[in-house]
Amino acid sequence: MLSNSCRYGIRAIIYLASLPQTKGKTGIKQIAKDLELPTPFLAKILQQLAKQKILNSTKGPHGGFSLLKDSKNITLLDIVKTIDGEEIFTNCIIHNETCSSVDRSKKSCPVHDDFSRVRTDLIKLFRNKTIYDLVRTAKSEEIFI
């Protein structure tokens, strides 16, 4: 459903958000090591998130990544849109193109109505779930990312 890139991105942001406030930048190597993800691949992803002003990145000694926005203002939807785009929210489940909810000139498909209900729930979930929420849940349930 989500690409690896997107999942890695989400996990990295949860990771950064769960570090103590006092911690400044964190290097890519450290992040990749702790999350057991491929370093250069993760770097690419974090660069995309930095371009979208979700992350802050600084080069040079003591450089690294940190959250640019407050974790209460970063939703799963922000990350998914940045990395995977909006296709998963618009594409039909059985056709390649988008269904008529988006483009009214096209005839609908027979699964359309039922599926769009489920999809709407999914979008709501992504839109309402902030990184702050996730970190809180993770901490209260002693879950590691």
Partner DNA sequence: AGAAAAAAATATTCTTATATCTTTTTTATG
Partner DNA sequence: CATAAAAAAGATATAAGAATATTTTTTTCT
For the chain, give percent helix, strand, coil, nearest 5: 55, 10, 35
Count of residues interacting with DNA (CB under 7 A): 27
Q: Dump strand ranges (E) for 1-144.
A: 55-58, 64-67
- Which CB atom, from 26 or from 91, has the smaller least distance to DNA? 26
Give the bridge partners for 56, in sequence order: 66
Give the bridge partners for 113, in sequence order: none
- Which CB atom, from 19 or from 122, has the smaller least distance to a copy of itself? 122
The token pair that represents 120 in the structure block: 């709407």
Site for DNA in 40-79 (CB under 7 A): 40-41, 43-44, 46-47, 50, 57-65
According to the binding rule CB under 8 A, does residue 22 interact with a copy of itself?
no
Provide the angle, in degrees to the nearest 10, between the axes of the packed helices 4-17 and 28-35: 110
- Which CB atom, from 86 or from 121, has the smaller least distance to a copy of itself? 121
Q: Which residues of the chain form contacts with a copy of itself (CB under 8 A)?
A: 1-2, 4, 7, 10-11, 14, 76, 88, 91, 93-96, 107-111, 114-115, 117-118, 121-122, 125, 129, 133-135, 137-138, 141-145
